[in-house]
Amino acid sequence: MRIGDFVFVTQGRNAQSRPLRGLEHDWSTVDRQAIVHAISVKRRRRSIGWVQKKALFSGGRIVAAALITGGARRIGRALALALAEEGWDLAIHYRTSAADAQKTVDDARALGVSATMFEGDLGDPATIESLVDSSYASFPELRLLINNASLFPLGALADTTLEQWDRVMDVNLRAPFALTQNFARVVESGSVINLLDAAVNRGRTSFVAYSVSKAGLELLTRVAARELAPSIRVNAIAPGPVLPPPGKDEEHLKNVARRTPMGTPVAVEDIVAAMRYLVETESVTGHVMYVDAGEHLVGGSPLGGSP
């Protein structure tokens, strides 16, 4: 428990809540039979990490906001709604999935938070330049950036054109770099989470541009973590076979997952749990969390699902 947390102190039939501040030095004032429980403002709020210190509290819920690129579908949507369940306001970025983005925004609002959608191509410098500023204008309590959006094109070294290479690098690497720059410029404190790939260090020869872009994002995670500490923490999640790639079905996903040490697909809920851990744990920065059923431990190129 941290100073400033609240506890319930139960003594016989008399129960009261009191700040933890002061109790850490003089536990003699509390009966030895007292039951001390850390309580949360809402579900799973045992620890809110840096948000607990920096965010404002209003009406019994946390007032803090997150910007999620590619937040309309797949992993991005799951992360967005998990944050909404805990009281986070949301800035949902999308490129072409307007209907999916609206559905995610509507579902978040149904959970009692504010949510807004922002359209933009992350390959366009104008989008990168304006996205953080627009999100911050809508949500001055912006505290979290999740760089989730990415392109996943098939293409070996011999087949990839310079135009294709540049397009992937612009969206998968340049955009997270610039968004992190802008995020650090407008917020006093917060956290950045980058979505990588469990196979990032093996190099998928049939996805050369994608593989190199994700390897670059891994290095950017560590560099940014060093430069932006202590006010901003930067971490990454490297999913394994969690969802079928576009055009593939669940059977394909199961076949891919059988080649991992665990032998089963990764649950989306496990990616959400990793996000929660990285948001809540103040001492972690520059870390890549593999949530991949052990895929990064095996050789070859299993080709799991894309974010």
How many CB atoms are closer than 10 A to CB 191? Answer: 27
Strand-pairing partners, residue 63, are 56
**What are the catalytic residues?**
210
The verdict on pTM exceeding 0.95 is no
Domain spans, the chain = 1-39, 46-297
| The pLDDT of residue 61 | 59
Given a cut of 90, is residue 70 above it in pLDDT?
A: yes
Taking the C-alpha atoms of residue 69 and residue 76, their distance in angstroms, rounded to an integer, is: 7
> Rounded mean pLDDT of 133-155?
96
Domain spanning 46-297: CATH 3.40.50.720: yes
pLDDT for residue 5 is more than 80 = no
Q: Is the pLDDT of residue 256 over 60?
A: yes
Q: Is pLDDT of 51 > 80?
A: no
Cα distances (Å, whole numbers) of residue 125 to 157, 184, 216, 227: 26, 18, 19, 23
Q: How confident is the model over 167-190, as pLDDT tens digits?
A: 999 999 999 999 999 999 999 999
- Most confident range (mean pLDDT) of 97-106, 149-158, 263-272 is 97-106
Instruction: Tell me: pLDDT of 33 over 70.
Output: no
Distances (CA, A) of 181 to 53, 92, 129, 189, 298: 23, 19, 10, 13, 35
